[in-house]
Structure 1
Amino acid sequence: GAISYVSFGYINKSVQPISINGVQPTENNVKNNKWKIWSYEHIYTRGKPTGLTKKFLTYLKNDHIQTTLFNKLGYISV
């Protein structure tokens, strides 16, 4: 066994989360800032996004994608 930091998307039957100071790593605890170990995912562009890059970023921010695909992949929507 080992202890490590992983993204929520990697937690499965073989990777089990632990609580720290009685706080479980849950989406709700991240959102209310009780779980302190988290980070944003970042997307950088060279200059203001245009064309397909702009369309892709718009797609990622779409409510449907934020509430379905992101959750399925283990990410917390913005």
Structure 2
Amino acid sequence: MVKVGKKGAIYIPKRIMKKLGIKEGDKALLKIRKNRIILEFIPDPFSLALKMRKWAKTTVEEFEYESESDQAKIYEI
């Protein structure tokens, strides 16, 4: 059971947050279905990207070379 606080704030118990991997600052969609409130947490895109299978490989040196080449074209160096 949770209580509704000031300005309608609802605090999720720590044990539930831990079990679901929710942390302060995470974003969620709030939906209403009939007489129920549904929270759907949105994964952080950076964390999600780190967990996904990598499809491209590049080294820091390759990235630097491309960056410098692009800058040279833009600024006509």
TM-score, structure 1 normalization: 0.22
- Select the structure of larger CA radius of gyration: 2
Greater share of helix residues, 1 or 2?
Answer: 2
Greater share of strand residues, 1 or 2?
Answer: 2
Which structure has more relative contact order (CA 8 Å, sep 6+)? It is 1
